[in-house]
Structures are given as C-alpha cells and as structure tokens.
Structure 1
Amino acid sequence: MSGRPHTAEQWQVYLAAYSADFLRVADPARLHDLGDERRASGWLGFAGAGPEALAAVEERLGVTLPPAYRAFLEASDGWLEPGPFVWTMRTTADVGWLRDLAPELCDAGDENDELMARALLVSADADECYWLLDPADVSDTGEWAAYVWASWYPGLGDRFDSFADLVAAERESFADLNARDGRAVDPADAGDLVAEGRRMALRGDAEGAAERFASAARKGSGAGQYLAVVLAAFQQPQVHHRIRNDVLGHPHVVDAVGAGRVRAELVPLFLRHESGAWAHRLVTETLGEIGDAPAPEEPPEFATALEQARELAGRGDTENAWSVLAAAVPRWHSDDPLCIAPLVLLTDPVLSRLVTPQRASWIVTTPKGHAH
C-alpha cells in the first residue's frame, strides 16, 4: 500500500491530483460530457459521506467496509471518470452486492460464480465493466481484495490487494491509454528517454532500449512508441500487429516521425503479413497514397556490403551472402536520431530471406557503429 491513500484526507489529495490529470489530458468528448461547471471546479468528486451515511450503508450491507474504500467514501461519496471504462462510482445510497444488482453475472457456470455471488459492486455506469470487492479475502489490515470484471475478459481480471490498489492501477491505465494517443499526463524527460534508448540499442542492449522506448511512449512520445516497434520488428515475427496498433493507429506517432519514414521502414513489413485490400486501404488512409517509398540511405560501406550480399544470394550462395552481412552489421552506423538498426535487412525482398528469427535477434543485440 506504499503511496496509496489510507485516510479521507489522503484520498482528497490523491483524487484532486487525479482530477487535474484527467481534466488536462482526457479525450475531448469525455471532457465535454462533464459540463462547464464540473470542468471549472477541477474536481470530479462530490461531498464526502458523513458518519451517519457511513453507518447506514454498513448497517444495510451487514458489514464493516474495508478501510481504504470507507475512507474514499468519506472523501467523496461517489466519483466521476474513475477509469478508462468506468464512468461513475456508486455512492453510500446505491452500493450493494453484485448478486442483488446484477444477478445475471453470478451464474456463469464457472469457477468465479462463488466469488461473484458474494462480491460488493462499487462501480456504476460503465462499458460492461464492474469493480468488485471480495469480503471473503481480507488482509491483516482489514482490506478486501479487489477485482475488475469486464465483458472482454475470459474471467476475472487481476487481483488487487485493496480498493486503493485497484484505483491506482486504473489511474495508471488511464495515463497509458492517453499517452498512446499523444496526450501524456507526465511528458517530462520523454526526449531524454528516447535518446538513452537509442544509445542502448546501438550498444546492443535491446532489452534496456525497449524499456526506455516504452517509458518514453508512456510519456506521450511518438518517437519512443515508433522505435519500440522498430526494435520489436527484429524480435517478434508477428510485429505487423504492433505496426497496425501502435503506429498506423496513432496519428501522433506518424506525425512525430513522418509518414515517409513509416511508409519506407515499416509498411513493407506490415504488408508482407497483411496483404488484403483492407490493409492497403488502412495504409493509404493513414499515410496518403502509397506510391514507391524511397529506401532509407545507408552508410556507403554498408551499402556496398548489401550489394555484394544481394549478388551472392542471387547466385544461390546464401551462406556467403549472410557472412558478408554479418561482417558488416557491427560496422553499421547512422547519425539519424530515429535509426537504431539496419531495418533494410528485414524489408529488402532479397536480403530478408537470409534473416532468420535467430539472426534478426543477433542484429539488435550486436553493438554497432561507434558503440562497439
């Protein structure tokens, strides 16, 4: 529970900060729905529940509420926009047992039926999503375990130690989803993370680079999100899913690196796996008319090695062709801040046939250029 609110006073501070984050970066449509008065107040909550209201709800439910949730109600009796898929929280007047409020969810015929039948439902309006507290799973401090159930889950979601932990996870999810759309809660130092990630990638530290790029992406960096996908192209054979979801699906990523770069570097990999008319239409709608994208310029020495390898491969001498490339990779370099590895080895129609998954992984874990 480190850093989580325990008391009503701590919840007020926490929720005020959450309100400020939401009002600063949330989707414009969601902000509009709040109304002018709510936006002007800077507070997504309500007046706190007093002692009489808390006593009444505990008497009605026949339980003592867990401390974190009870303190939350003291700070705000209800809440707006608590998570990406939950729009309102229940109040002391309407919080209740799931079996009474949504009995159809308690009879799914699976191993979760018993938990669902005893769970307390604390969320209200939502997109087929429910926040649940389990009165049979209680910590030494009196906290009840918490879960999220959603129609798109195969079962219950992750278990949280308390209501406060669930709220913190949903707040983090809110921040991540908005950052992926270019509306970062905390954009500070994103550029430094991208630069550090690039240095690590050139040193062959693919794992460290991936972590830095992911951190930059969580701060709203389109460049960080793009380079995370470039790195994944060498390590994940199914990277076309990430190209679609993390690049083509996010205008701020395309804006950050340029449509021409995306078309030249990642579209060939995407269309290699997704060749249907819908895929070409997606690329055209996102990047404009496809046309012939210019190949990124390679360092002269490396370009010579590429030509030698193509010639050898064309004669069927694939082993020597790969040997030429393997000798050239450690000497590859680029001064382009968005270049971290020779993507041409994955996109070239001739050379890509030489690059097995093991060789692709070797390429990004080998120090290159001035870094080796």
Structure 2
Amino acid sequence: MNESRFNWHDFLSRWQDEWIPGEDDLEDMEEGGVSLADLALAAPPATREEIAVAEERLGTRFPPSYRGFLQASNGWRVDGTASIYRLGAVHEIGWFGDPFGMTEAYRQELSERSTEQEVLLAGMWERALRLETDSDMSYALLDPGDTDEDGEWALYVYKGWSGEFPDRYPSFRAFMEEAYRDFHANRANMPGFVNDTTRALDAGVERARQEALGGRWQTARELLDEARRYGRPSAWGMLRQIDTLAHRGGGHGFHELVADPRYTDELVPSMAAAHLRHDRHSAFPGRFVLGTETDDAVGAAADAILARVRDRSYRYAPDGAFGQAVAEAREAARWGDTDGAWRTIRAALPSWSPPGPDLLAPLGLLADPVLGPVVTPERGRELLATPRAGRSGTAPAPVADLDPPGLRWLADTPRRNAAYDSYRCLWVEGVEGRCCRP
C-alpha cells in the first residue's frame, strides 16, 4: 500500500459529497432537531503543530495513513460503521490502557501452537491507541506492535457487546476504505442514491456481465466482487453463480435475483440441491430458505422444485436448441456415457440463452439427478470459460474424459462430486449374480 500516492483530501471529499442521511440519521434529525450541517462527516484538517503536540504527548509518531487522514480531516463521523460513531480529533485521542483486563484473558488462551497473529492480539490491548470518541460500546484501536513494512499499524475494532474477537484491518486507511464501502452498501437501494461512484460500479457490473458470457469469468468475478462490496444490486447474485460453478464454496444463495420469476427455474433448483446436501450431513436439518423476500408464486414454485429435487424426479429442461441437447445428454448419461453427455452439453453451450440479463450460466444443470454428477468442478469451470448467449470468443481446451475404458470402473473407487453420488448397474445375462462394489 503506497500511502504517498493516496489522496486523503479527494477520498474524504468524495465521501462527504456523496453522503446522504441514513435511517438512523433521519431519526436523530427528527428527535433532536439536528440539521444536515450538524451531521457533516468531515472536520477541518489538523495543523502540523497540532499533530506534533499530540505525538509528543503520546510519545510516538503516528503511522502514515493516520497522519495523512488528520492532515485532511481532524476527526470524522463514521456513519455508524461497526458501532463506531465518531473518530476523535487529534487532541482527543489517547492510549487505551486495557481498562477491562483483556490482556490477561487473551494470554490465558495462548499455547505453544498459537500463531503470531494470536500473540500480537493478546498484547494489543495494553499498547493500543484509542481513536473513537463516540460509539456503541465499541473501540477503534491502532496497534503500534502490529506493523507492516510500510510502517502502518493494524487497526482493531472491538465490539464490547458482541463477545467476538475484534475485527482486524491492516491499516487505518484499510479501515476507512471499508467504512466507505459499508456506507455505500447501506444506501445502495435508497431512491436517489446515484453518484459518480455508483455509476462507475454499475458500469463495472455491466462489463462483468459481458465478460462472463464471453467466457472470461475470472475478470468478471473481480469486477463483481468489487461491486458486491459496495452493495450494488444484482452483483452478489451474479457473483454467486460464478462461484457455484467454479466450486469456490461459500453457500448458494443468490440474494434478490431469486425473487425474479424469470430465474426461478435456474437458480432455485441449484439452491434446493445445495440445501438437501447440507441437510443430509447435518444433525439438525433446516428449513429451505431462499434468502430474500419473494412473492407467493415464487415461494410455491420453490416448494415444488424442492420436492422434485428431493425425490429425484427433477429434470432440467430449458427451451430451444440447448434444451434439446440437454435431453440428448441425459439419455447418454443414463446409459453410462457421461463423457459423451458432457461433450453434447459443451457443444451446445453457445446456443444457451438466459431468460434475463442477470443470469450468467445454466445453473439448473447442477440439480438434475442424472446430469448433475456430470458437471464436475473441472467441467463447471470449463462451462464458465465457454462463450455463450451469442458472445464470441475462444472456447477452452476440453477437460480430460473421466469414463475409464472397458469395465475397469467396477473396481475403481466411486467418484463423488459436489452434487450427488453416482451409481452404475451392469446386468449380464446368464452369469451368476455376485455382490460387487458400485
């Protein structure tokens, strides 16, 4: 992180210019007669003399990003992020001093197997610089003992009411950038919240859509992940589609996209299959939750899809030429030719067309009891790398076939993928039956 190239004045000015009251701000204004001017985020910059006096008082030199911040704004109202409401001016900050005896509690948990980070955290409480002056029983603590090669101090946010470990940020700047992203995410769906930042992020989401359909899924993922951190609509749902097919883990919810009936037949089956896999291995089966508010029609369709996926009667059946290829592939897979089935699907992928702009791939394949096992992690990534929906591009090299020749598969360890266990049965006329491994 090159602090010399970061312009704190521009960053904080943009934040201040984009700021609009949130729900808590509006309540404060209504109850206390507070004006918008009173709720301003920024403060006048600290002078070099004020910073020097504070450093002499505290017996330390501030890390680069915190010093740069003070020279742009001597304090900041943090908009409620992580229960920190206000960062104090330079004359208001001081050493934390561990008033609650956290050092002893954390050091009791250390052992010879403790990591370097765990040791640093245990000692942080006694040496940290406390920055916040208003919070909900929470503390913003800069640790001079946890530094990097640029001289930055790690910043910890400890929520005293949570009972959780503090959140760690590698620097003061990293904390403020995350707070800025949270500010955007908390207002992303508010009417009229449009500015240069949201326009740039939404342009990135549109570019990600085109990159994903063109087979450049890694580029699309980077763009969507950035937009997701700012709460941009549909970014999370599209990112989860990529991660589901790339087998990156992290759940299978698609947020607000699930509420759109255009995507029910593609997204809900994948979610249902993931839900049933989780319940199968869980001692406490849970309710099938779509993760967002839906209307009665989508809810009823989801219940019906879950029932079909559970009893293995679900069949993925998209329209058009791709749907015909899926039917042919299912028949091939049903007779044991899973490699041939995948070749049929792969060849037809360019003809696949989404029912709406925010669907990036045929996710319904994963829930099909016959075709789901065909889409291995490697093939899921091959699917993502294949241009589709009319986009041009270079198709990826095919992944290796998986079906062993002859009858060797009878003695092989059964292959398992993320969707289902697969079994084959061989009937031979005139041969005495024997028990064998599937």
TM class, shorter-length: 0.7 to 0.9
Q: Corresponding residue for 1:327?
A: 347
- Residue 244 of structure 2 is matched in structure 1 by 233
Give the deviation of 1:271 after TM superposition.
2.3
Cα 1:18–1:315 change in 2 (3 A) is: same
Give 5+ residue unaligned stretches, structure 2.
111-118, 280-284, 306-314, 394-438
TM alignment of 1:12-27, pairs within 5 A: 15-21=12-18, 23-24=19-20, 27=22
Are 2:158 and 1:150 aligned? yes
Instruction: Give the 3 Å change call, closer, same or farther, for CA 234–58 of structure 1 in structure 2.
Output: closer
Separation in 1, partners of 2:126, 2:237: 45
Moved more, 291-300 or 89-98: 291-300
Partner in structure 2 of residue 167 of structure 1: 176
Work out the CA distance in 2 between the residues paired with 1:179 and 1:2. 31
1:130 aligns with 2:139: yes
Shift of 1:364: 0.8
Contact 1:118-1:134 at 8 Å conserved across structures: yes
Matched, 1:306 2:326: yes
Post-superposition shift, 1:81?
2.2
Which of these residues, 19, 24, 28, is aligned with residue 29 of structure 1? 24
Which of 260, 275, 280 is matched with 2:288 structurally?
280
CA contact (8 A) 2:316 2:365 kept: no
- Determine if contact 1:194/1:212 at 8 Å carries over to the other structure: yes
Q: Following the alignment from structure 2 to structure 1, what is the Cα–Cα distance between the partners of residues 273 and 149? A: 55
Whether 1:343 aligns to 2:343 is: no
Q: CA offset at residue 123 of structure 1?
A: 1.7
Aligned residue number for residue 420 of structure 2 = none
Moved more, 115-124 or 276-285: 276-285
Q: 1:280-319 CA deviation, whole Å, 9 max, x = no partner?
A: 3556854435223699984522111111222233344434
CA distance in structure 1 between the aligned counterparts of 2:331 and 2:143, rounded to whole angstroms = 66
1:318 to 338, 348, 364: 338
Q: 1:120 aligns with which of 118, 123, 129?
A: 129
- Name the SS of the counterpart of 2:97 in structure 1: helix
Do the aligned residues in 2 keep the contact of 1:217 with 1:225 (CA within 8 Å)? yes
State the one-letter code of the partner of 1:312. Answer: A
Instruction: Please tell me the root mean square deviation across aligned C-alpha atoms, in Å.
Output: 4.1
The one-letter code matched in structure 2 to 1:99 is G
- Give the secondary structure class of the aligned counterpart of 1:150: strand
- SS of residue matched to 2:220: helix
Q: Tell me if the contact between 1:131 and 1:146 (Cα under 8 Å) persists in the aligned partners.
A: no
Q: 1:210 pairs with 206, 210, 221, which one?
A: 221
**Alignment check: 8 A CA contact 2:74 2:90 kept:** yes
- Segment drifting more, 222-231 vs 165-174: 165-174
Letter matched to residue 301 of structure 2: D
SS in 1 for 2:36: helix
Aligned to 1:269: 270
Structure 1 counterpart of 2:312: none
Between structure 1 and structure 2, the one with the greater Rg is 2
Mapped partners of 1:67, 1:352: distance in 2: 52
Amino acid in structure 2 at the alignment position of 1:20: D
| CA contact 1:179–1:217 (8 Å) conserved in 2 | no
Deviations 1:169-209 (A, max 9, x none): 43234335544889676221455433322322222111012
* Aligned 1:175-254 pairs, distance under 5 A: 175-176=184-185, 178-179=187-188, 186-218=197-229, 220-236=231-247, 238=249, 241-243=251-253, 247-248=254-255, 253-254=256-257
Higher relative contact order (CA 8 A, sep 6+): 1
**Tell me, what secondary structure is at the counterpart of 1:274?**
helix
Q: Which amino acid aligns with 1:362?
A: E
% of aligned pairs identical?
28
Taking structure 2 as the reference length, the TM-score comes to 0.65
Instruction: Please say if residues 221 and 242 of structure 2, whose CA atoms lie closer than 8 Å, have aligned partners that are also in contact.
Output: yes
Higher mean C-alpha displacement, 348-357 vs 122-131:
122-131
Q: State the 1:230 CA deviation.
A: 1.7
Question: CA-to-partner distance for each residue in 1:321-361, whole Å, 9 max, x for gaps?
Answer: 33322332244345843343222322334321321111111
- Show the counterpart of 1:371: 392
SS across alignment from 1:99? coil
1:342/1:90 CA distance change after superposition, 3 Å: same
User: What SS class does the counterpart of residue 157 from structure 1 fall into?
Assistant: strand
> Which has a greater percent of helix?
1
Structure 1 residue runs of 5 or longer lacking an equivalent are none
Partner Cα distance (2:135, 2:35) in 1: 19
Q: Which of 125-134 and 351-360 deviates more?
A: 125-134
CA distance in 1, matches of 2:23, 2:237: 24
CA contact 1:5–1:164 (8 Å) conserved in 2? no
**Number of residue-to-residue matches in the alignment:** 351
- Scaled by the length of structure 1, the TM-score of the pair is 0.74
